[in-house]
Chains A and B, each alone.
Chain A
Amino acid sequence: MSFATNDYAVNMNGESRTEVSLSSRMIRIGILSAACLLGLSLGTAAQPRWVKDMVDLAQTVKVDKDATVVVLSSSKEVKIGSDGHSIAKIRRAVKVLSPAGSEKAILSELTSPTRKIKNIEGWLVRENGTVEDMKKDWIGEMDATYRAGYYDDNRSLVASFPGVESGDVVAFEYKVVETDALLGRNQRFVLQFVEPTIRSEFTVEIPGGWALFQTGRHSDETQRIRTKNGYTWLTDRLDYQPIEPFMPQASDILRWIEVSAYDPTSSREDQFADWGAVATWTHDLQQPSNAVDEQTVSAARQLCEGLTDPVEQMTAIAQYVRDKIRYVAVELGAGRFEPRQPHTTQQNGYGDCKDKTALMRAMLKAVDIPSEAVLANTRRPIDPDFPCPLQFNHVIIGIPISDYFECGEWPTACIDGWLYYDPTDDRFDLGHISSQLRGTFVLRTSEKDSSVLCLPELSPTDYERLNFANIELSPDGSILARVRTTYYGLLAAETAFGWKSRAISEWTKDQIKRFARAMQDPRITEIRREVADDSVWVSFVLEGRNMVSESGGRSLLKADIFHADQTNSLVGKRRVHPVSFGKPRLEQTIIAWQLPPDWRAGTPPSPITDSCEIASISSQIEVREGEISFLSRVEYLGGELEDSAYKTAKAFTGKVRAAESTRVFLTKGDH
């Protein structure tokens, strides 16, 4: 499902349009080059007053040395009409500070059949004061992410000046006309990019009597001014936002505002005064036709033949829709929001999240199991105080199950008597929800029982790995290890899916790469992979060389073969962003070393233990006659540490690194 929003995906910096790939850059450069090759003369042109002001401002700004551009001004003035259509006037000016910045001076705006970019004007003001106008030859449209299997009617309009250099100021002014009422009433604006921003301004004008909801990131730190028919949000002097290791995702850090306008007096279904209105609108849109067609009914009954337990019926249908309907998105016209008829999806054997959910619902209905469409977002958090369907980018299914079994049986996918399932995610069986969705808000669109709710949080034990190895060390430093890794919870399902979808030779190559960080010439044989009820495991024999190094005549054994300096450490004195170690997870490692006869281990290193609010580590070595045990446990709890706790986080990563590089002194028999 693609609820394509406006400004978040489109900006002059391209920062938040993550799907802009190298190929898009190549095409942009191609357009730029083609324009240059035309050998067009660059005449001197007049610049409007606001651009002149920006050029003057550019003389005085001082910003972080790592910044590649400074956004001098970024403004969007949008007028929403009573028909929901909108016209936005956008102005942006940046000063390029370095070669990489020239790419950020390229204009990129989403276009679609309902979203048109008009009256584009642009000015390139050289450091020596020369001004060049934007030429039509320097403007093009493209779809850089096009691929078979994902069909939509969006493109990016790209406009760029050739030969932009450090010191130049690039400014654009244009209009965005949106004629889809749903998209027109919803407006989004990124006030701050990674790059420093001197001034950002977002003005929304709505028809008299209308109201609006507001959401955003750091919006409470943004000045809001009431205007005659709307609001203006203003920011001044926002600093450069460096890319740092272990930082939260960009949408959590940058500053943006999103508004959803509505007419409280309107009886139209797509006016969203509360979540109830959103649920009703979505419910009607996502509802497959009331009379489920004979073909779907027949297929469902055939699948459930002989199954009397509703849970078994649900499972059979879920597996069918997950496995037999491949993911192909046709997001054209109404297909952006509406699912296709279930029998069409079934005939095609493909569909997107909406189609798969609608088919699964129709099949459940055929065996008298009720269900509802549930809106979710796989990329960014939902604001439960902002009732707007455009917050979501995905559809899953909700099934009321209190008549059949207790929620406690499937605790990670059940809440308040409803079971949630994502038939688009190939990895999981009924009863599991992906880590991307766990802990996020979703909207259940039941006609009678709609609500915004939070799916069960992910806990470290839902994503657990246990490494075990029994290793015989030879006097020449080579090893023969019997290794077994067990995966639990979601990680088990993900791992099993990975095994199913990749050749074992590819898996072996990856393991060789992994162990090559810890030893010479790793060789893997006797691979066995098993899927159990709540876990999956793989065992194999691992051989390798050079596990013992020497320092000052003393032999050092590398104790942990699973982690050879894998953990990135935090470095540097400054920290701007909170620290995030990612989703909750748990990894335990147990290694039993058997030394060659007459070899002894020296005094073991001190145990390593450390913890902070979002993670903990404990690692220790035990030594007995001819044997060494290495035990470690690293647990990440999710969440963030504020930048003020940076020193704690940095010390923690240092401890993890120390644990990963633990060495044990060995004494050979003749010493």
Chain B
Amino acid sequence: MKSSPRVAGLLALALVLTFQSVVAKTFKNPFKWEEVTSSDWAVGQDSAKRIFDAAMLFEKVSADDEEMVEDKCYRTVYRRIRILNERGRNRANVSVPFVHPEQRVIGLVARAIHPDGTVIDLQEEHIFEKEIVITREFKYKQTSFSIPGVTDDCIIEYMISIRIPYAHNRWPIQKDIPLLDFEYQWLVGQGVSRRDLDYYRSHPGRSLPGPNYLWFNSQSKQKVDKLPSNEDTREVRFSTSDVPPFEEEPYGLPSGHLRDKLICFYGATRKPALYWGSWASSNERRAAGFCEKSDVMKEVVAGFGELDSDSTKINTAYDWILDNITNTTHAGLYDEKDVKKEKRLTPKRHSSVDEMIERGYGSRDDIHLLFWAMLHEMNIEAKIAYAMERTHDLFVYKAKYWQFSHSAVMVLDSSGAQTFYTPGIGCTPASHVPWYLEGVQALTCAYSEYFVTIPFSSPEVHRSMRSGVFEFTEDYEVTGRIANRRWGQFAQATRADLFERPPEDHHETMVERIEIDYGTVELDSVAVDGLDRLDRPVTLTFSASFPSAAPVGDQWLLKPLEYFTTSKNPFVQPSREGDMMFQHAHQRTEAAEFAVPAGWVVDAVPSDTVFVNQVGLCAVQFSFSGDKLMVQRSFTLDRPYWPVVAYEAVRELYQARQDQADLMVILTKRSD
């Protein structure tokens, strides 16, 4: 509806009242729009604040857990957005935020406000509901709406209230547009939800959870406006302002970690040290309990005989597990059939290590417990450790809830040096962990300090050595046979790609991987060797054809490094804001021999170049003799994690690699 300002007020009021009767009355508490102020209208494009299309003037969230014991929690979000151009208008198409699969929208109002005071309200015809997933067990209905009357210079606002069955208080504050003001009201639930009641009944010693909160990565000034007091024990208020939009950077830390967020949760009221200490103790008790019935395991260990050193014993136990225990961590996802076909079983929880050995299979955590028990039986000091993989988020000490996604086994030698093992994670050789667990904090069981850092491995561990013999065809292609040996995580990645795949599938899987490395290329006959021995390198051999620039007159300019792995520098912006995280340190060596095409001679080759700095090394060597041209490149990344202050050095290293790929060999037509 659009009308003159004079009648707009009355009409808008009438519409608001009508609409309230349709939708708004279902809000738990009566709602009221806040007054639109002149400072709201004053917000305009501002490159310093990264305001371009639109800015969220405020977001006010009410998290009401007062009826938590009845399994009814309410989340109400009220957002006001200043629209500044045509692109910004799309902010008026809104999907109700997904908080919980069983959420129900109980209240929804929205409106557009024009600079002249005209108000256009959302009507029921602008609200759309659709079941977007339907399975036999589950339906998910998505509610969306498109606010009418939105122009490229207006304010929109909406309030959405949902009911969820239990408290969920992880609220992402940082959006993809600037947020100028944020307020969060938490009405704390008293008692325990029905869902958790059984747990507390069966654990009478366990103290009831208390309210906890955490701000994550706040880039702006944060405030706790109100904490529960003796007078009012039920309300907590938080606020912050000027939250910039979130922008992802190449090779940044996980976005789940970087985005500003507020987490309110019911958990331990103890200090973190006590909280984690209690987890460590209870984990140890659980581990010990699991290993109580262990006669069969002891027999297995006894069968190892008189092995001479601890390392031999450890490796023997590791290999025994890989050979005898089927890993069912992902059973039901992709390897259920094999388990069923071969053993005719359904993965079950085991009550003891013996039961697990007798059944012959186990989950990742079961396998780690078994490995730990075997080491313990051989009098080798080892601890179970828990860690979070660093692809999604990073561990936060103060966050007193279970954050870990993986277990591992930490082995201590007589000097106290720690080595981590993960036999329960496929394709991992002994004394290694997958890259995503390196560099993260791990909680150990009953260790003097509960947390240890799983170390990054050195670049020498993760090597790739590639060599190729190439020749030029008459239609300016380069064809060659390439052999690539891979160690460490390079080998592990290949093994994981080809895990339990028959050899006839290897070609297709590896073609995709090789094309990522090389760009435009035609591949033939990819073969893989060395998959079966985790302690040996994997070798790939394949033939490839690459495009080449055509000769111009009597001259042919070649870039031999074009036929190596792609060298594009991902760090081209002059500065960045966040730290850098690669998968793992590594060393790549590539060597190629080119047969100079008939009728051409090598006229000039670039000088050898070496670039080295704190981050790594990049070196290229050229040589030629007769009709052969040889090129070799070495690239080393010393560590996977670099703080933002090292950006210039990281950028220089990758730029050097890109520049080297641009070096040219000059061929000229043979004069005879």
Contacts and interface: CB of A to CB of B under 8 A. Distances in A.
Interface of A: 27, 31, 33-34, 36-37, 39, 42, 65-66, 68, 98-100, 136-137, 139-143, 146-149, 151, 153, 155, 162-163, 165-166, 245, 323-324, 326, 328, 330, 332, 346-350, 426, 500-505, 509, 512-513, 516-517, 520-523, 546, 549-554, 556, 558, 565, 568-573, 605-606, 608, 647, 650-651, 653-655, 657-658, 660-663
B342 interface: no
Interface stretch (B67-75, B275-283, B379-387, B655-663): B655-663
Contacts of B336: 36, 162-163
B476 interface: yes
B254 interface: no
Name the residue in A505, A517, A554, A661 with the highest tally of chain B Cβ atoms < 10 Å from its Cβ.
A661
B332 A33 contact: yes
Contacts of A523: 574
Interface string B136-173: 11100010111011111000000000000000000000
B522 A36 contact: no
Contacts of A571: 477, 520-522, 545-547
B605 interface: yes
A394 to B, nearest CB: 20
A137 B89 contact: no
29 contacts: A39-B346, A65-B507, A66-B508, A99-B508, A136-B136, A139-B135, A141-B133, A142-B134, A147-B93, A151-B144, A165-B337, A326-B89, A347-B1, A349-B112, A349-B151, A350-B146, A501-B85, A516-B569, A551-B605, A554-B666, A565-B562, A568-B547, A571-B545, A571-B547, A605-B552, A606-B555, A658-B549, A658-B552, A661-B549
Contacts of A165: 337
Contacts of B562: 565
Contacts of B509: 98-99
Interface stretch (B405-413, B498-506, B592-600): B498-506
Contacts of B138: 34
B551 A162 contact: no
Given A148-B93, A523-B574, A551-B663, A662 B552 contact: yes
Given A146-B130, A350-B150, A653-B547, A551 B92 contact: no
B550 A658 contact: yes
Interface in B310-338: 332-337
A439 to B, nearest CB: 28
Contact of A572 (B2, B501, B504, B522): B522
A39 B332 contact: yes
Contacts of B52: 502-503
A33 B475 CA distance: 49
Contacts of B475: 647, 650-651, 654
A151 B89 CA distance: 17
Nearest to A68: B508
A140 B508 contact: no
Interface in B74-97: 85-87, 89-90, 92-95
B337 A162 contact: yes
A53 B356 CA distance: 44
Nearest to A132: B337
B664 interface: yes
Nearest to A157: B134
Contacts of B47: 503-505
B663 A140 contact: no
B547 A350 contact: no
B607 interface: yes
Contacts of B94: 148
Contacts of A37: 332-333
A246 to B, nearest CB: 11
Nearest to A328: B146
A569 B505 contact: no
Interface in B285-318: none
Given A39-B346, A163-B337, A503-B50, 20 more contacts: A34-B138, A36-B333, A65-B507, A140-B134, A155-B134, A332-B128, A349-B148, A350-B148, A503-B47, A549-B663, A550-B663, A565-B562, A571-B477, A571-B547, A572-B545, A573-B545, A654-B547, A658-B557, A660-B549, A661-B559
Nearest to A553: B604
Contacts of A558: 662
Contact of A657 (B333, B340, B549): B549
B520 A569 contact: yes
A153 B142 CA distance: 12
Given A140-B133, A571-B547, A647-B475, A326 B572 contact: no
A336 to B, nearest CB: 14
B128 A330 contact: yes
Nearest to B500: A165
B126 interface: yes
A654 B333 contact: no
Contact of A516 (B545, B552, B572): B572
Nearest to B338: A163
A143 B145 CA distance: 17
A293 to B, nearest CB: 13
B603 interface: yes
B546 A606 contact: no
Contacts of B603: 552
Contacts of B521: 571
A294 B168 CA distance: 50
A512 B545 contact: no
A31 B140 CA distance: 13
B659 A546 contact: yes
B132 interface: yes
A658 B551 contact: yes
Contact of B573 (A27, A326, A504, A512): A512
Contacts of A147: 93, 95, 144
A605 B553 contact: yes
Contacts of B663: 549-551
Nearest to A65: B507
A551 B665 contact: yes
Contacts of B95: 147-148
A42 B340 contact: yes
B550 A657 contact: yes
A654 B550 contact: yes
B90 A326 contact: yes
A95 to B, nearest CB: 13
Contacts of B572: 512-513, 516, 522
B168 to A, nearest CB: 20
Contacts of B565: none
B508 A98 contact: yes
Name the residue in B87, B135, B606 with the highest tally of chain A Cβ atoms < 10 Å from its Cβ.
B135
Contacts of B185: none
Name the residue in A328, A522, A558 with the highest tally of chain B Cβ atoms < 10 Å from its Cβ.
A328
Given A27-B133, A509-B573, A571-B520, A654 B150 contact: no
A281 B87 CA distance: 35
Nearest to A327: B90
A245 B515 CA distance: 13
A272 B553 CA distance: 61
B604 A554 contact: yes
Contacts of B621: none
B640 to A, nearest CB: 23
Contacts of A509: 573
A520 B332 CA distance: 50
A552 B550 contact: no
A647 B334 CA distance: 44
Nearest to A655: B550
Contacts of B126: 348
Nearest to A660: B549
Contacts of B664: 549, 551, 556, 661, 663
B548 interface: yes
A147 B132 CA distance: 10
Contacts of A661: 549, 557, 559, 664
A324 to B, nearest CB: 7
B130 A151 contact: yes
Interface string B179-194: 0000000000000000
